[in-house]
Amino acid sequence: MELAEEITAYVDNEVKDFPVKCRLGELIKNDFPIRNEYLIQKRIKELLQQRFANCTTPDELRNKILTEIFQVKFN
Amino acid sequence: MRAITNKLSNEELQQRYREFEKEAVPHMDAVYNFALRMTGDEDDADDLVQETFLKAFRFFDKFEKGTNCKAWLFRILKNSYINDYRKQTKEPDKVDYEDVQNFYENIKSDQVEMQHYEQDAFTNLLDDEISSAITDLPEDFRTVIILSDIEGFTYEEIADFVDIPVGTVRSRLHRARKMLYAQLYDYAKDKGFVAKKKTSK
């Protein structure tokens, strides 16, 4: 696995091996290019979590689906 | 749907309806959002969500209680999307992984200046611009970034959903974020949210 991809896994809390996790943490602290990778991955993840324009299911669609399912019950 | 009424008593149907309402219906917004991001069209998303929920209700006895219902619904949606929607419209753009690799390799660290993080140029971008940048990603990359960063699935769940190894999930996610970063950086630069780099003579 490329080191850069390990940084992605680190950001996602998907590095299960504790010593590897510690080593990556040290690299992020001390290595400028690795820190940049970390910041890009983290920033995009946070941006999508916080800002992604989530839409609510339109009421018409929700009602249509629930009505259709509900009709099955009494067919 | 008629097949259900032939097999289940009214009491059993009522029980299924109650369980479905409790387990599946609360995930409708997440399913709708994913459908919208995958198709890029409200009418197609409506059709996909409707089909997903009707299939889910029909086969709700196949859902293992106590497991992740949202992941189960997303799998039904994915199958409908691949089998029905995409066949009727068009094949997805084939991803030339070499092109993606070249693009990705060109995003070098020197394009990333620490001041971007300090000034947080992306804060000024509109939600629509972020949505649009996601929609512009190749499908393989768009899928993993939506599932991970918006829907909060683990690598293992995404691997199971997309049917690829966990390592490929990680790799696609890594590249998807870099591509998205580059796209949003360009938007921010065009809008003057990022200071232009001074060129030395």
**Cβ of B50 and A61 within 8 Å?**
yes
Residues of A in contact with B154 (CB under 8 A): 14
pLDDT per residue as tens digits for the range B157-183 = 999 888 899 999 999 999 999 999 988
Alpha carbon A45 to chain centroid distance? Answer: 6
| Distance (Å, whole) CA B12 – CA B18 | 10
* Cβ atoms of A33 and B114 closer than 8 Å: no
Q: For residue A5, give the nearest of B125, B130, B170 by CB distance.
A: B170
Under DSSP, the state recorded for A56 is P
pLDDT attached to residue B83:
76
- Chain B contact for A44 (CB, 8 A cutoff): yes
Alpha carbon B139 to chain centroid distance? Answer: 9
Under DSSP, the state recorded for B109 is G
Q: Any idea which of A21-25, B68-72, B191-195 has the lowest mean pLDDT?
A: B191-195
Is pLDDT above 80 for B196?
no
Tokens of B60: 């709700």
3-state secondary structure B24-90: CHHHHHHHHHHHHHHHCCHHHHHHHHHHHHHHHHHCHHHCCCCCCHHHHHHHHHHHHHHHHHHHHCC
By C-alpha distance, the chain A residue nearest B126 is A51
**Cβ of B117 and A53 within 8 Å?**
no
**Cβ of A33 and B109 within 8 Å?**
yes
Determine which of B127, B149, B151, B172 to mutate to test the interface with A (most A C-beta atoms within 10 Å): B149
A70–chain B nearest CA distance, Å: 7
Give the CA distances from residue B184 to residues A7, B45, B139, in Å, rounded to whole numbers and listed in that order: 21, 25, 18
In terms of Cα–Cα distance, which of B41, B42, B76 is closest to B57?
Answer: B76
Is pLDDT above 80 for A17?
yes
B188–chain A nearest CA distance, Å: 14
Element (H, E) at B21: helix B10-23
Is pLDDT above 80 for B149?
yes
How is chain A split into domains, by residue range?
A: 3-73
Q: Does the pTM exceed 0.95?
A: no
ipTM: 0.84
Residues of B in contact with A53 (CB under 8 A): 127-128, 130-131
Top pLDDT among B10 and B140 is at B140
| Distance (Å, whole) CA B28 – CA B20 | 11
Give the CA distances from residue B161 to residues A62, B11, B12, B95, in Å, rounded to whole numbers and listed in that order: 25, 33, 30, 19
In terms of Cα–Cα distance, which of B157, B20, B143, B152 is closest to B78?
Answer: B143
pLDDT attached to residue B200:
44
